[in-house]
Amino acid sequence: MLKQLTILLVFFTGCVYLNAQTDTSFQLVKKIKGDIVAFAADNFDNLYLLNSSDQLKKLNDKGDSVAVFNNIRKYGKVAQIDVSNPLRVLLYYKDFSTVVVLDRLLNVRSTIDFRKQEIFQVQAVCFYGFPPVI
Instruction: Give the DSSP per-residue string, 45-111.
Output: S-EEEEETT--EEEE-TTS-EEEEE---SSS-S--EEE-SSTTSEEEEETTTTEEEEE-TT--EEEE
Percent of the chain past pLDDT 70, that is, above it, reads 75
Confidence of residue 134 (pLDDT cuts 50, 70, 90): very low
* Predicted local confidence at residue 125, as pLDDT: 75
Q: Which domains does the chain have, with CATH numbers?
A: 36-113 (2.40.10.480)
Q: Among 35, 54, 48, which Cα is nearest to 82's? A: 48
Q: Length of the chain in residues, anyone?
A: 134
The one-character DSSP state at 36 is E
Greater pLDDT, 70 or 9: 70
91-129, pLDDT tens digit by residue? Answer: 988 888 889 999 999 999 999 888 888 888 887 777 666
Q: Is the pLDDT of residue 9 over 60?
A: no
Could you tell me the pTM of the whole model?
A: 0.72
* Predicted local confidence at residue 58, as pLDDT: 96
Q: Can you tell me the distance from the alpha carbon of 7 to that of 118, in angstroms, rounded to the nearest whole number?
A: 58
36-90, pLDDT tens digit by residue? Answer: 999 999 999 899 999 988 899 999 988 899 999 988 678 888 988 999 888 999 9
